[in-house]
Structure 1
Amino acid sequence: MSRAVVYEKFGGPEVLELREVPEPHAGPGEVRVRVTAAGLNPMDWGLAARPEAAARFGITLPSGFGYDFAGVVDEVGPGVDHTAVGDRVHGGALGRAVADFVVLKASDTLFPTPDGLSDEVASTLPVAGSSAAAALAAVGLRAGDTVLIGGAAGGVGIFAVQLAKLAGATVLGTAAEGTFPFLRKLGAEPVTYGPGLADRVRELGDITAAVDLFGTETAEAALALGVPPERIATIAAGPNPPGGVRATGGADADPGALKQIAEAIVAGRLTVPVAAVFPVDRIRDAVALQAARHVHGKVVVTL
Protein backbone atom coordinates (compact mmCIF):
# COMPACT_ATOMS: atom_id res chain seq x y z
CA MET A 1 0.00 0.00 0.00
CA SER A 2 0.98 3.64 -0.46
CA ARG A 3 -0.44 7.02 0.50
CA ALA A 4 -2.37 9.62 -1.49
CA VAL A 5 -4.41 12.72 -0.72
CA VAL A 6 -7.96 12.25 -1.99
CA TYR A 7 -11.37 13.89 -1.70
CA GLU A 8 -14.83 12.39 -2.19
CA LYS A 9 -16.83 15.62 -2.16
CA PHE A 10 -16.17 19.19 -3.21
CA GLY A 11 -15.33 21.76 -0.57
CA GLY A 12 -12.56 23.48 1.37
CA PRO A 13 -9.43 21.99 2.93
CA GLU A 14 -11.58 19.89 5.27
CA VAL A 15 -12.55 17.52 2.40
CA LEU A 16 -8.94 16.46 1.83
CA GLU A 17 -7.89 13.14 3.36
CA LEU A 18 -4.58 11.29 3.42
CA ARG A 19 -5.44 7.65 2.75
CA GLU A 20 -3.76 4.35 2.08
CA VAL A 21 -4.29 3.29 -1.52
CA PRO A 22 -3.06 0.39 -3.64
CA GLU A 23 0.52 0.94 -4.78
CA PRO A 24 0.59 1.73 -8.52
CA HIS A 25 3.16 0.26 -10.89
CA ALA A 26 4.58 1.32 -14.25
CA GLY A 27 3.17 -0.46 -17.29
CA PRO A 28 4.39 -0.46 -20.90
CA GLY A 29 5.60 2.98 -21.93
CA GLU A 30 5.21 4.31 -18.39
CA VAL A 31 7.43 5.42 -15.53
CA ARG A 32 6.73 5.59 -11.82
CA VAL A 33 8.03 8.50 -9.77
CA ARG A 34 8.52 8.29 -6.02
CA VAL A 35 7.24 11.75 -5.12
CA THR A 36 9.22 13.65 -2.53
CA ALA A 37 7.63 17.11 -2.85
CA ALA A 38 4.50 18.67 -4.31
CA GLY A 39 4.11 22.39 -4.93
CA LEU A 40 0.64 23.84 -4.41
CA ASN A 41 -1.18 26.16 -6.82
CA PRO A 42 -4.49 28.06 -6.66
CA MET A 43 -5.88 25.73 -9.33
CA ASP A 44 -5.47 22.76 -6.98
CA TRP A 45 -7.85 23.95 -4.32
CA GLY A 46 -10.02 25.62 -6.97
CA LEU A 47 -10.67 22.25 -8.59
CA ALA A 48 -11.37 20.63 -5.21
CA ALA A 49 -13.75 23.40 -4.19
CA ARG A 50 -15.72 24.09 -7.37
CA PRO A 51 -17.49 21.30 -9.31
CA GLU A 52 -17.79 23.46 -12.42
CA ALA A 53 -14.03 24.05 -12.49
CA ALA A 54 -13.33 20.33 -11.96
CA ALA A 55 -15.67 19.45 -14.82
CA ARG A 56 -13.76 21.70 -17.23
CA PHE A 57 -10.63 19.66 -16.50
CA GLY A 58 -12.40 16.29 -16.67
CA ILE A 59 -12.02 15.61 -12.93
CA THR A 60 -14.67 13.43 -11.32
CA LEU A 61 -15.15 12.21 -7.75
CA PRO A 62 -13.44 10.61 -5.98
CA SER A 63 -10.27 12.39 -7.01
CA GLY A 64 -6.66 12.75 -6.07
CA PHE A 65 -5.16 16.18 -5.43
CA GLY A 66 -2.49 18.46 -6.84
CA TYR A 67 -0.56 18.86 -10.07
CA ASP A 68 3.09 19.84 -9.51
CA PHE A 69 5.53 17.28 -8.16
CA ALA A 70 9.20 16.37 -7.93
CA GLY A 71 10.89 13.12 -7.03
CA VAL A 72 12.90 10.17 -8.30
CA VAL A 73 12.04 7.63 -11.00
CA ASP A 74 11.87 4.24 -9.25
CA GLU A 75 10.17 2.04 -11.88
CA VAL A 76 10.45 2.00 -15.66
CA GLY A 77 8.01 0.02 -17.78
CA PRO A 78 8.78 -1.92 -20.96
CA GLY A 79 9.49 0.23 -23.99
CA VAL A 80 10.96 3.19 -22.10
CA ASP A 81 14.53 3.90 -23.12
CA HIS A 82 15.14 7.59 -22.33
CA THR A 83 14.37 7.55 -18.60
CA ALA A 84 16.12 5.39 -16.01
CA VAL A 85 15.58 4.35 -12.43
CA GLY A 86 17.27 6.89 -10.19
CA ASP A 87 16.65 9.91 -12.44
CA ARG A 88 15.57 13.00 -10.52
CA VAL A 89 12.58 14.59 -12.25
CA HIS A 90 9.79 17.13 -11.85
CA GLY A 91 6.56 17.57 -13.74
CA GLY A 92 2.78 17.56 -13.56
CA ALA A 93 0.06 14.99 -12.95
CA LEU A 94 -3.39 16.56 -12.83
CA GLY A 95 -5.39 15.53 -9.78
CA ARG A 96 -2.89 13.03 -8.41
CA ALA A 97 0.43 14.67 -7.58
CA VAL A 98 0.17 14.64 -3.77
CA ALA A 99 0.84 10.94 -3.37
CA ASP A 100 3.75 8.65 -2.63
CA PHE A 101 3.84 7.50 -6.27
CA VAL A 102 2.81 8.98 -9.61
CA VAL A 103 2.65 6.80 -12.73
CA LEU A 104 2.60 8.54 -16.08
CA LYS A 105 3.43 7.95 -19.71
CA ALA A 106 7.10 8.46 -20.40
CA SER A 107 6.03 10.67 -23.31
CA ASP A 108 4.21 13.02 -20.94
CA THR A 109 5.86 16.22 -19.82
CA LEU A 110 8.56 15.19 -17.37
CA PHE A 111 11.64 17.34 -16.81
CA PRO A 112 15.07 16.36 -15.48
CA THR A 113 15.90 18.04 -12.16
CA PRO A 114 19.43 19.41 -12.45
CA ASP A 115 22.06 19.10 -9.76
CA GLY A 116 21.89 22.06 -7.43
CA LEU A 117 18.10 22.29 -7.56
CA SER A 118 16.26 20.84 -4.56
CA ASP A 119 13.13 18.76 -4.99
CA GLU A 120 11.19 21.30 -2.91
CA VAL A 121 12.04 24.09 -5.35
CA ALA A 122 11.68 21.86 -8.44
CA SER A 123 8.15 21.00 -7.34
CA THR A 124 7.14 24.67 -7.60
CA LEU A 125 8.12 25.10 -11.24
CA PRO A 126 5.71 23.34 -13.64
CA VAL A 127 2.52 25.42 -13.34
CA ALA A 128 3.88 28.75 -12.10
CA GLY A 129 7.06 28.78 -14.17
CA SER A 130 5.39 27.77 -17.43
CA SER A 131 2.45 30.16 -16.88
CA ALA A 132 4.77 33.11 -16.27
CA ALA A 133 6.88 32.27 -19.31
CA ALA A 134 3.78 31.90 -21.50
CA ALA A 135 2.32 35.23 -20.37
CA LEU A 136 5.52 37.15 -21.07
CA ALA A 137 5.94 35.44 -24.44
CA ALA A 138 2.33 36.27 -25.37
CA VAL A 139 3.01 40.00 -25.06
CA GLY A 140 6.35 39.77 -26.86
CA LEU A 141 8.26 41.14 -23.89
CA ARG A 142 11.64 42.58 -24.81
CA ALA A 143 14.45 44.63 -23.36
CA GLY A 144 13.42 48.23 -22.78
CA ASP A 145 9.76 47.44 -22.07
CA THR A 146 8.01 48.67 -18.96
CA VAL A 147 5.59 45.91 -18.02
CA LEU A 148 2.75 46.02 -15.50
CA ILE A 149 2.30 42.65 -13.78
CA GLY A 150 -0.96 42.10 -11.94
CA GLY A 151 -0.72 39.79 -8.93
CA ALA A 152 3.04 40.18 -8.83
CA ALA A 153 3.54 38.75 -5.34
CA GLY A 154 1.66 35.51 -6.05
CA GLY A 155 2.98 32.11 -7.07
CA VAL A 156 3.12 32.94 -10.79
CA GLY A 157 4.03 36.56 -10.16
CA ILE A 158 7.34 35.77 -8.47
CA PHE A 159 8.45 34.04 -11.67
CA ALA A 160 6.99 36.66 -14.03
CA VAL A 161 8.70 39.54 -12.23
CA GLN A 162 12.12 37.91 -12.30
CA LEU A 163 11.85 36.60 -15.86
CA ALA A 164 10.83 40.08 -17.03
CA LYS A 165 13.83 41.60 -15.25
CA LEU A 166 16.14 39.00 -16.81
CA ALA A 167 14.73 39.98 -20.21
CA GLY A 168 15.77 43.59 -19.60
CA ALA A 169 12.35 45.06 -18.80
CA THR A 170 11.33 47.51 -16.09
CA VAL A 171 8.63 45.94 -13.90
CA LEU A 172 5.70 47.49 -12.07
CA GLY A 173 3.78 44.99 -9.95
CA THR A 174 0.33 45.23 -8.38
CA ALA A 175 0.06 43.96 -4.83
CA ALA A 176 -1.13 44.71 -1.32
CA GLU A 177 1.02 47.22 0.57
CA GLY A 178 2.25 44.54 2.96
CA THR A 179 4.08 42.83 0.08
CA PHE A 180 5.89 45.95 -1.18
CA PRO A 181 9.26 45.18 0.47
CA PHE A 182 9.07 41.60 -0.86
CA LEU A 183 8.41 42.81 -4.41
CA ARG A 184 11.20 45.38 -4.29
CA LYS A 185 13.63 42.59 -3.39
CA LEU A 186 12.51 40.76 -6.53
CA GLY A 187 13.18 43.86 -8.61
CA ALA A 188 9.68 45.27 -9.13
CA GLU A 189 8.30 48.70 -8.35
CA PRO A 190 5.07 47.92 -6.43
CA VAL A 191 1.73 49.65 -6.93
CA THR A 192 -1.44 49.07 -4.89
CA TYR A 193 -4.18 47.17 -6.70
CA GLY A 194 -7.85 48.20 -6.55
CA PRO A 195 -9.95 51.15 -7.80
CA GLY A 196 -7.84 53.89 -9.35
CA LEU A 197 -5.09 51.51 -10.49
CA ALA A 198 -4.71 53.18 -13.90
CA ASP A 199 -4.19 56.59 -12.28
CA ARG A 200 -1.56 55.24 -9.89
CA VAL A 201 0.30 53.53 -12.70
CA ARG A 202 0.18 56.69 -14.83
CA GLU A 203 1.97 58.57 -12.06
CA LEU A 204 4.83 56.05 -12.25
CA GLY A 205 5.35 56.46 -15.99
CA ASP A 206 4.33 54.94 -19.30
CA ILE A 207 3.88 51.17 -19.62
CA THR A 208 4.35 49.29 -22.87
CA ALA A 209 3.00 45.84 -21.90
CA ALA A 210 0.97 44.13 -19.19
CA VAL A 211 0.26 40.64 -17.90
CA ASP A 212 -2.69 40.01 -15.59
CA LEU A 213 -2.18 36.98 -13.38
CA PHE A 214 -5.37 37.41 -11.35
CA GLY A 215 -8.67 38.39 -12.98
CA THR A 216 -8.93 41.37 -15.34
CA GLU A 217 -8.19 44.52 -13.30
CA THR A 218 -4.64 44.92 -14.58
CA ALA A 219 -5.66 44.19 -18.17
CA GLU A 220 -8.42 46.80 -18.00
CA ALA A 221 -6.04 49.37 -16.50
CA ALA A 222 -3.52 48.73 -19.27
CA LEU A 223 -6.18 49.20 -21.93
CA ALA A 224 -7.22 52.47 -20.28
CA LEU A 225 -3.58 53.58 -20.41
CA GLY A 226 -3.41 52.96 -24.15
CA VAL A 227 -1.46 49.71 -24.24
CA PRO A 228 -2.38 47.79 -27.43
CA PRO A 229 -4.48 44.65 -26.74
CA GLU A 230 -1.87 42.43 -28.38
CA ARG A 231 0.64 43.52 -25.73
CA ILE A 232 -1.64 42.54 -22.83
CA ALA A 233 -2.11 38.95 -21.64
CA THR A 234 -4.25 37.24 -19.00
CA ILE A 235 -3.97 33.76 -17.50
CA ALA A 236 -7.03 33.67 -15.24
CA ALA A 237 -9.75 35.58 -17.08
CA GLY A 238 -11.17 32.71 -19.14
CA PRO A 239 -10.91 32.23 -22.90
CA ASN A 240 -12.46 35.62 -23.77
CA PRO A 241 -10.76 38.38 -21.76
CA PRO A 242 -11.85 42.02 -22.15
CA GLY A 243 -10.87 44.26 -25.03
CA GLY A 244 -9.36 41.57 -27.23
CA VAL A 245 -6.33 41.03 -25.01
CA ARG A 246 -4.52 37.70 -25.20
CA ALA A 247 -5.58 34.72 -23.07
CA THR A 248 -2.79 32.26 -22.37
CA GLY A 249 -1.56 29.69 -19.85
CA GLY A 250 1.15 27.23 -19.01
CA ALA A 251 0.22 24.89 -21.87
CA ASP A 252 1.31 27.62 -24.31
CA ALA A 253 4.82 27.94 -22.87
CA ASP A 254 7.84 27.21 -25.02
CA PRO A 255 8.92 23.57 -24.48
CA GLY A 256 12.30 24.75 -23.23
CA ALA A 257 10.97 27.34 -20.80
CA LEU A 258 11.16 25.23 -17.64
CA LYS A 259 14.67 24.03 -18.47
CA GLN A 260 15.78 27.63 -18.81
CA ILE A 261 14.11 28.56 -15.52
CA ALA A 262 15.74 25.65 -13.70
CA GLU A 263 19.13 26.62 -15.10
CA ALA A 264 18.60 30.25 -14.02
CA ILE A 265 17.83 29.10 -10.47
CA VAL A 266 20.94 26.92 -10.29
CA ALA A 267 23.03 29.81 -11.65
CA GLY A 268 21.63 32.16 -9.00
CA ARG A 269 19.94 34.50 -11.48
CA LEU A 270 16.42 33.61 -10.28
CA THR A 271 15.17 32.75 -6.81
CA VAL A 272 12.07 30.87 -5.71
CA PRO A 273 10.79 32.04 -2.33
CA VAL A 274 9.37 28.96 -0.59
CA ALA A 275 7.13 30.46 2.06
CA ALA A 276 6.21 27.26 3.89
CA VAL A 277 6.85 23.52 3.80
CA PHE A 278 4.36 21.08 5.32
CA PRO A 279 4.52 17.28 5.76
CA VAL A 280 1.77 15.55 3.80
CA ASP A 281 -0.19 14.69 6.94
CA ARG A 282 -0.77 18.44 7.33
CA ILE A 283 -2.20 18.85 3.83
CA ARG A 284 -5.25 20.71 5.13
CA ASP A 285 -3.08 23.30 6.86
CA ALA A 286 -0.96 23.71 3.74
CA VAL A 287 -3.98 24.25 1.49
CA ALA A 288 -5.63 26.64 3.96
CA LEU A 289 -2.49 28.78 4.02
CA GLN A 290 -2.13 28.76 0.25
CA ALA A 291 -5.83 29.45 -0.39
CA ALA A 292 -5.83 32.48 1.92
CA ARG A 293 -3.60 34.24 -0.65
CA HIS A 294 -1.62 36.07 2.03
CA VAL A 295 1.53 34.00 1.64
CA HIS A 296 4.53 35.50 -0.17
CA GLY A 297 5.97 32.73 -2.32
CA LYS A 298 5.20 29.06 -2.78
CA VAL A 299 3.78 26.45 -0.41
CA VAL A 300 5.24 22.94 -0.68
CA VAL A 301 4.09 19.60 0.72
CA THR A 302 6.71 16.90 1.37
CA LEU A 303 6.20 13.13 1.27
Structure 2
Amino acid sequence: MRAVVVRRFGGPEVLEFAEVPVPAPGPGQVRIRVAAAAVNPVDAATRSGALTGAGVIPAREVLGLGWDVAGEVDAAGTGARFRPGDTVIGLRDRIALPLGAYADYVVLDASAVALAPAGVPLVEAATLPLNALTAAQALDLVETTGTVLVTGAAGAVGGYAVALAHARGLQVVAVAGQADEALVRQFGADGFLPRGPALADRVRALVPGGADAVLDTALLGLDALDAVRGGGEFVAFAAGAAPIPLRGVRVRNVWIRADGERLAELAGILPPRVAGVLPLAEASTAHERLAGGGLRGRLVLTP
Protein backbone atom coordinates (compact mmCIF):
# COMPACT_ATOMS: atom_id res chain seq x y z
CA MET A 1 0.00 0.00 0.00
CA ARG A 2 1.00 3.65 -0.29
CA ALA A 3 2.01 5.88 2.63
CA VAL A 4 3.75 9.20 3.17
CA VAL A 5 6.74 8.89 5.50
CA VAL A 6 9.71 10.91 6.74
CA ARG A 7 13.25 9.47 6.73
CA ARG A 8 15.07 12.77 7.18
CA PHE A 9 13.99 16.09 8.59
CA GLY A 10 13.46 19.22 6.54
CA GLY A 11 10.92 21.09 4.47
CA PRO A 12 7.97 19.70 2.52
CA GLU A 13 10.37 18.21 -0.03
CA VAL A 14 11.47 15.49 2.44
CA LEU A 15 8.03 13.84 2.41
CA GLU A 16 8.43 10.44 0.77
CA PHE A 17 5.65 8.60 -1.04
CA ALA A 18 6.48 4.95 -0.25
CA GLU A 19 5.17 1.42 -0.68
CA VAL A 20 4.79 -0.28 2.71
CA PRO A 21 3.11 -3.46 4.00
CA VAL A 22 -0.58 -3.31 4.88
CA PRO A 23 -0.82 -3.25 8.70
CA ALA A 24 -2.82 -5.88 10.59
CA PRO A 25 -5.08 -4.99 13.54
CA GLY A 26 -4.37 -6.58 16.90
CA PRO A 27 -6.78 -7.25 19.76
CA GLY A 28 -8.97 -4.23 20.42
CA GLN A 29 -7.85 -2.53 17.21
CA VAL A 30 -9.39 -1.73 13.85
CA ARG A 31 -7.87 -1.27 10.42
CA ILE A 32 -9.35 1.68 8.56
CA ARG A 33 -9.34 2.09 4.81
CA VAL A 34 -8.49 5.77 4.68
CA ALA A 35 -10.88 8.01 2.77
CA ALA A 36 -9.42 11.27 4.08
CA ALA A 37 -6.63 12.48 6.37
CA ALA A 38 -6.37 16.05 7.61
CA VAL A 39 -3.11 18.03 7.53
CA ASN A 40 -2.25 19.65 10.87
CA PRO A 41 0.60 21.85 12.14
CA VAL A 42 1.83 18.94 14.27
CA ASP A 43 2.53 17.06 11.03
CA ALA A 44 4.79 19.88 9.86
CA ALA A 45 6.52 19.95 13.26
CA THR A 46 7.14 16.21 12.97
CA ARG A 47 8.46 16.53 9.42
CA SER A 48 10.81 19.41 10.27
CA GLY A 49 12.29 17.64 13.29
CA ALA A 50 10.99 20.27 15.70
CA LEU A 51 9.20 17.70 17.86
CA THR A 52 12.25 15.45 17.99
CA GLY A 53 14.40 18.44 18.95
CA ALA A 54 11.91 19.30 21.70
CA GLY A 55 12.03 15.76 23.10
CA VAL A 56 8.46 14.94 22.12
CA ILE A 57 9.33 12.31 19.50
CA PRO A 58 12.39 10.05 19.97
CA ALA A 59 14.81 9.60 17.09
CA ARG A 60 13.43 7.10 14.55
CA GLU A 61 14.58 5.90 11.14
CA VAL A 62 11.07 6.28 9.73
CA LEU A 63 8.13 8.36 10.93
CA GLY A 64 4.59 8.26 9.62
CA LEU A 65 2.52 11.42 9.37
CA GLY A 66 -1.13 12.16 9.97
CA TRP A 67 -3.23 12.19 13.14
CA ASP A 68 -6.74 12.62 11.76
CA VAL A 69 -8.47 9.94 9.74
CA ALA A 70 -11.91 9.28 8.29
CA GLY A 71 -12.75 6.11 6.43
CA GLU A 72 -14.26 2.65 6.58
CA VAL A 73 -13.34 -0.16 8.95
CA ASP A 74 -11.71 -2.84 6.82
CA ALA A 75 -10.81 -5.36 9.52
CA ALA A 76 -11.28 -5.62 13.28
CA GLY A 77 -9.27 -7.42 15.95
CA THR A 78 -10.83 -9.42 18.73
CA GLY A 79 -12.70 -7.28 21.22
CA ALA A 80 -12.96 -4.26 18.93
CA ARG A 81 -16.34 -2.54 19.14
CA PHE A 82 -16.55 -1.78 15.42
CA ARG A 83 -17.29 -4.02 12.47
CA PRO A 84 -16.01 -4.07 8.90
CA GLY A 85 -18.08 -1.64 6.87
CA ASP A 86 -18.54 0.92 9.66
CA THR A 87 -17.70 4.46 8.58
CA VAL A 88 -15.58 6.06 11.27
CA ILE A 89 -13.35 8.92 12.30
CA GLY A 90 -10.38 8.54 14.60
CA LEU A 91 -7.24 10.02 16.09
CA ARG A 92 -3.72 8.61 16.04
CA ASP A 93 -2.01 10.02 19.13
CA ARG A 94 1.07 7.76 19.12
CA ILE A 95 3.25 9.88 16.87
CA ALA A 96 6.54 7.95 17.00
CA LEU A 97 5.25 5.17 14.74
CA PRO A 98 6.39 4.46 11.17
CA LEU A 99 2.86 4.67 9.77
CA GLY A 100 0.27 7.41 10.18
CA ALA A 101 -2.99 8.45 8.59
CA TYR A 102 -1.29 9.71 5.40
CA ALA A 103 -1.75 6.23 3.93
CA ASP A 104 -4.16 3.85 2.23
CA TYR A 105 -4.77 2.04 5.54
CA VAL A 106 -4.09 2.80 9.20
CA VAL A 107 -4.57 0.74 12.38
CA LEU A 108 -5.96 2.43 15.50
CA ASP A 109 -7.09 1.29 18.91
CA ALA A 110 -10.87 1.02 18.83
CA SER A 111 -10.97 3.38 21.84
CA ALA A 112 -9.57 6.12 19.59
CA VAL A 113 -12.36 5.76 17.03
CA ALA A 114 -15.94 7.01 16.72
CA LEU A 115 -18.66 6.47 14.18
CA ALA A 116 -18.53 9.17 11.54
CA PRO A 117 -21.25 11.84 11.94
CA ALA A 118 -24.30 10.98 9.87
CA GLY A 119 -24.75 12.92 6.67
CA VAL A 120 -21.26 14.45 6.75
CA PRO A 121 -18.90 13.57 3.87
CA LEU A 122 -15.80 11.78 5.12
CA VAL A 123 -13.55 14.41 3.58
CA GLU A 124 -15.16 16.93 5.91
CA ALA A 125 -15.38 14.63 8.93
CA ALA A 126 -11.60 14.06 8.79
CA THR A 127 -11.03 17.62 10.04
CA LEU A 128 -12.74 16.98 13.38
CA PRO A 129 -10.72 14.61 15.62
CA LEU A 130 -7.50 16.39 16.55
CA ASN A 131 -8.82 19.93 16.57
CA ALA A 132 -12.09 19.21 18.34
CA LEU A 133 -10.47 17.04 21.02
CA THR A 134 -7.65 19.53 21.57
CA ALA A 135 -10.11 22.38 22.11
CA ALA A 136 -12.30 20.30 24.42
CA GLN A 137 -9.45 18.90 26.49
CA ALA A 138 -7.89 22.35 26.81
CA LEU A 139 -11.17 23.74 28.10
CA ASP A 140 -11.32 20.86 30.59
CA LEU A 141 -8.21 22.37 32.22
CA VAL A 142 -9.97 25.67 32.89
CA GLU A 143 -11.97 26.05 36.09
CA THR A 144 -13.21 29.61 35.65
CA THR A 145 -16.86 30.47 35.16
CA GLY A 146 -15.99 33.99 34.01
CA THR A 147 -14.15 35.36 31.00
CA VAL A 148 -11.88 33.36 28.72
CA LEU A 149 -9.61 34.88 26.09
CA VAL A 150 -9.02 32.73 23.00
CA THR A 151 -6.09 33.67 20.78
CA GLY A 152 -6.01 32.40 17.20
CA ALA A 153 -9.80 32.27 17.37
CA ALA A 154 -10.30 31.92 13.62
CA GLY A 155 -8.04 28.86 13.42
CA ALA A 156 -9.17 25.26 13.49
CA VAL A 157 -8.52 24.72 17.21
CA GLY A 158 -9.30 28.29 18.23
CA GLY A 159 -12.66 28.31 16.49
CA TYR A 160 -13.72 25.13 18.27
CA ALA A 161 -12.44 26.56 21.57
CA VAL A 162 -14.64 29.63 21.12
CA ALA A 163 -17.68 27.50 20.32
CA LEU A 164 -17.18 25.13 23.25
CA ALA A 165 -16.45 27.92 25.74
CA HIS A 166 -19.58 29.75 24.60
CA ALA A 167 -21.61 26.55 24.99
CA ARG A 168 -20.29 26.24 28.55
CA GLY A 169 -21.67 29.70 29.35
CA LEU A 170 -18.33 31.51 29.55
CA GLN A 171 -17.85 35.05 28.30
CA VAL A 172 -15.50 34.69 25.33
CA VAL A 173 -13.13 37.35 24.03
CA ALA A 174 -11.64 36.30 20.69
CA VAL A 175 -8.37 37.44 19.14
CA ALA A 176 -8.00 37.01 15.38
CA GLY A 177 -7.34 38.94 12.18
CA GLN A 178 -9.52 41.99 11.65
CA ALA A 179 -11.23 40.34 8.67
CA ASP A 180 -12.27 37.38 10.83
CA GLU A 181 -14.47 39.27 13.31
CA ALA A 182 -17.75 38.15 11.77
CA LEU A 183 -16.52 34.54 11.64
CA VAL A 184 -15.49 34.30 15.29
CA ARG A 185 -18.64 36.06 16.45
CA GLN A 186 -20.54 33.41 14.52
CA PHE A 187 -18.64 30.80 16.58
CA GLY A 188 -19.93 32.47 19.74
CA ALA A 189 -17.45 35.18 20.71
CA ASP A 190 -18.92 37.91 22.92
CA GLY A 191 -16.01 40.28 22.40
CA PHE A 192 -13.42 40.68 19.65
CA LEU A 193 -9.92 42.12 19.43
CA PRO A 194 -7.83 42.21 16.26
CA ARG A 195 -4.32 40.80 16.32
CA GLY A 196 -1.69 43.41 17.07
CA PRO A 197 0.54 45.01 19.70
CA ALA A 198 -0.38 45.86 23.28
CA LEU A 199 -2.78 42.94 23.51
CA ALA A 200 -2.81 42.93 27.31
CA ASP A 201 -3.72 46.63 27.51
CA ARG A 202 -6.55 46.16 25.00
CA VAL A 203 -7.89 43.10 26.82
CA ARG A 204 -7.82 44.91 30.15
CA ALA A 205 -9.64 47.87 28.63
CA LEU A 206 -12.39 45.45 27.61
CA VAL A 207 -12.22 43.23 30.73
CA PRO A 208 -11.12 45.27 33.78
CA GLY A 209 -8.40 43.45 35.69
CA GLY A 210 -7.80 40.99 32.84
CA ALA A 211 -9.36 37.79 31.60
CA ASP A 212 -9.90 34.95 34.04
CA ALA A 213 -8.31 32.46 31.65
CA VAL A 214 -6.54 32.31 28.30
CA LEU A 215 -6.57 29.52 25.73
CA ASP A 216 -3.46 30.52 23.79
CA THR A 217 -3.91 28.60 20.55
CA ALA A 218 -1.87 31.23 18.65
CA LEU A 219 1.17 30.60 20.91
CA LEU A 220 1.55 34.26 21.92
CA GLY A 221 3.10 33.30 25.23
CA LEU A 222 3.96 36.19 27.53
CA ASP A 223 1.82 38.67 25.59
CA ALA A 224 -1.23 36.53 26.27
CA LEU A 225 -0.17 35.79 29.86
CA ASP A 226 -0.10 39.53 30.60
CA ALA A 227 -3.77 39.69 29.60
CA VAL A 228 -4.73 37.32 32.46
CA ARG A 229 -5.63 38.57 35.92
CA GLY A 230 -3.38 37.61 38.81
CA GLY A 231 -4.14 34.06 39.93
CA GLY A 232 -5.92 33.29 36.67
CA GLU A 233 -5.42 30.43 34.26
CA PHE A 234 -3.37 29.93 31.09
CA VAL A 235 -3.42 26.96 28.72
CA ALA A 236 -0.57 26.47 26.24
CA PHE A 237 -0.94 24.40 23.09
CA ALA A 238 2.56 23.26 22.14
CA ALA A 239 5.71 21.86 23.68
CA GLY A 240 7.84 24.71 24.96
CA ALA A 241 5.04 27.26 24.54
CA ALA A 242 4.12 27.57 28.23
CA PRO A 243 5.37 30.87 29.73
CA ILE A 244 6.66 31.34 33.26
CA PRO A 245 3.68 31.44 35.65
CA LEU A 246 4.02 35.07 36.68
CA ARG A 247 1.59 36.68 39.17
CA GLY A 248 0.40 33.31 40.38
CA VAL A 249 -1.22 32.44 37.06
CA ARG A 250 -1.76 28.68 36.80
CA VAL A 251 -0.04 27.68 33.54
CA ARG A 252 -0.75 24.30 32.00
CA ASN A 253 -0.14 22.54 28.69
CA VAL A 254 -2.86 20.56 26.96
CA TRP A 255 -1.46 17.18 25.91
CA ILE A 256 -3.97 15.69 23.53
CA ARG A 257 -5.11 12.09 23.92
CA ALA A 258 -7.37 9.99 21.74
CA ASP A 259 -10.87 9.54 23.14
CA GLY A 260 -13.42 7.92 20.86
CA GLU A 261 -16.40 8.47 23.17
CA ARG A 262 -15.66 12.17 23.56
CA LEU A 263 -15.03 12.46 19.85
CA ALA A 264 -18.46 11.03 19.12
CA GLU A 265 -20.03 13.73 21.31
CA LEU A 266 -18.05 16.54 19.68
CA ALA A 267 -18.75 15.32 16.16
CA GLY A 268 -22.43 15.80 16.88
CA ILE A 269 -22.11 19.48 17.80
CA LEU A 270 -19.07 20.94 15.99
CA PRO A 271 -19.04 21.63 12.25
CA PRO A 272 -16.18 20.36 10.05
CA ARG A 273 -13.90 23.03 8.59
CA VAL A 274 -12.23 22.18 5.28
CA ALA A 275 -9.74 24.60 3.73
CA GLY A 276 -9.05 22.47 0.65
CA VAL A 277 -8.68 18.92 -0.66
CA LEU A 278 -5.63 17.39 -2.37
CA PRO A 279 -4.67 13.84 -3.39
CA LEU A 280 -2.34 11.97 -1.03
CA ALA A 281 0.46 12.14 -3.61
CA GLU A 282 0.46 15.93 -3.20
CA ALA A 283 1.18 15.90 0.54
CA SER A 284 4.23 18.11 0.01
CA THR A 285 2.03 20.73 -1.70
CA ALA A 286 -0.37 20.59 1.24
CA HIS A 287 2.53 21.22 3.64
CA GLU A 288 3.67 24.18 1.53
CA ARG A 289 0.17 25.65 1.70
CA LEU A 290 0.04 25.04 5.46
CA ALA A 291 3.34 26.88 5.89
CA GLY A 292 1.92 29.83 3.97
CA GLY A 293 -0.66 30.40 6.72
CA GLY A 294 -4.04 32.04 6.43
CA LEU A 295 -6.01 28.78 6.22
CA ARG A 296 -9.46 28.73 7.76
CA GLY A 297 -9.91 25.06 8.56
CA ARG A 298 -7.74 22.13 7.53
CA LEU A 299 -6.40 20.83 4.26
CA VAL A 300 -7.40 17.22 3.60
CA LEU A 301 -5.52 14.49 1.74
CA THR A 302 -7.45 11.76 -0.08
CA PRO A 303 -5.86 8.45 -1.08
Structure 2 counterpart of 1:260? 265
Gaps of 5+ in 2: none
Contact 2:112 2:258 in 1 (8 A): no
Gaps of 5+ in 1: 265-269
Listed one character per residue, the Cα deviations across residues 81-124 of structure 1 (whole Å, up to 9, x for unaligned) are: 52211112211223511100012344x52222232233223222
**TM-score computed with the length of structure 1 as normaliser:** 0.85
Contact 2:12 2:288 in 1 (8 A): yes
Contact 2:4 2:15 in 1 (8 A): yes
Listed one character per residue, the Cα deviations across residues 270-299 of structure 1 (whole Å, up to 9, x for unaligned) are: 323211111112211211112222111222
Distance 1:38 1:252, change over 3 A: closer
How far has the Cα of 1:212 moved from its partner? Answer: 0.9
Which of residues 195, 214, 217 is equivalent to 1:213?
Answer: 217
SS at structure 2 position matched to 1:242: coil
Which of residues 233, 241, 244 is equivalent to 1:242?
Answer: 244
**1:1-303 alignment, distance < 5 Å:** 2-50=1-49, 52-53=51-52, 55-58=55-58, 60-77=60-77, 79-93=78-92, 94=95, 96-106=100-110, 108-142=111-145, 145-188=146-189, 189-206=191-208, 207-215=211-219, 216-217=221-222, 219-223=224-228, 226-229=229-232, 231-236=233-238, 238=240, 241-243=243-245, 244-251=249-256, 256-264=261-269, 270-303=270-303
Bigger mean CA offset, 35-44 vs 236-245: 236-245
Alignment: residue pair count? 290
Structure 2 counterpart of 1:267? none
SS at structure 2 position matched to 1:91: strand
Distance 1:183 1:30, change over 3 A: closer
How far has the Cα of 1:58 moved from its partner? Answer: 3.0
Counterpart of 1:8 in structure 2: which amino acid? R
Listed one character per residue, the Cα deviations across residues 112-161 of structure 1 (whole Å, up to 9, x for unaligned) are: 2232233223222222111111221211254xx32110111222101101
Whole-angstrom CA distance in 2 between matches of 1:228 and 1:253: 30
Contact 1:214 1:237 in 2 (8 A): no
Contact 2:33 2:71 in 1 (8 A): yes
Distance 1:255 1:272, change over 3 A: closer
SS at structure 2 position matched to 1:203: helix
Counterpart of 2:214 in structure 1: which amino acid? A
Report % sequence identity.
37
